[in-house]
């Protein structure tokens, strides 16, 4: 996409601080980090969301996550790590090119990702699970 900042990074039109690159994906440092060491993993091909990405490309990117998460956490000297991926503006996606955040964390760092929890209705859970199974063809 001509106006996508991540596509411009992949094309070499916009500089980035690369961590890793292969034929399918690119890993680079976030230029507006939430915490020191905040890293992004993106596919080189433009997919706006996870739902558009072929399973093979998703599996390839996912295959990098265990080692990449360990490396980011260790390099930052972090106590913990968030691995986050948002699909759509309502979910908090700011750049319309699929990307996975690896965010180093420390106790008391002031960052929060808590949602209000409430007990679920078992019948509603069963209906939702069935709707998902139907869409998966399971």
Q: Write out the catalytic residue numbers.
A: 99
What is the Cα–Cα distance from 97 to 2, expressed in whole angstroms? Answer: 12
Task: From 69, 43, 39, 41, select the one nearest 56 (Cα to Cα).
Answer: 43
Closest CA to 53 of 33, 74, 80, 25: 25
**Using CA atoms, how far apart are residues 95 and 7, in angstroms rounded to an integer?**
11
For residue 44, the number of C-alpha atoms closer than 13 Å in the C-beta half-sphere is 12
């Amino acid at each position: 996409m001509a106006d996508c900042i991540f596509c411009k990074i992949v094309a070499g039109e916009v500089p980035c601080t690369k961590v890793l690159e292969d034929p399918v994906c690119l890993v680079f440092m976030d230029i507006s980090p939430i915490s020191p060491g905040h890293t992004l993993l993106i596919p080189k091909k433009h997919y706006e969301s996870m739902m558009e990405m072929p399973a093979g490309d998703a599996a390839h990117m996912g295959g990098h996550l265990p080692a990449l998460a360990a490396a980011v956490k260790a390099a930052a000297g972090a106590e913990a790590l968030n691995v986050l991926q948002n699909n759509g503006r309502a979910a908090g996606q700011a750049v319309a090119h699929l990307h996975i955040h690896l965010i180093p964390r420390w106790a008391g760092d002031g960052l929060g990702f808590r949602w209000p929890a409430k007990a679920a209705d078992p019948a509603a859970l069963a209906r939702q699970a069935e709707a998902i199974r139907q869409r998966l063809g399971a």
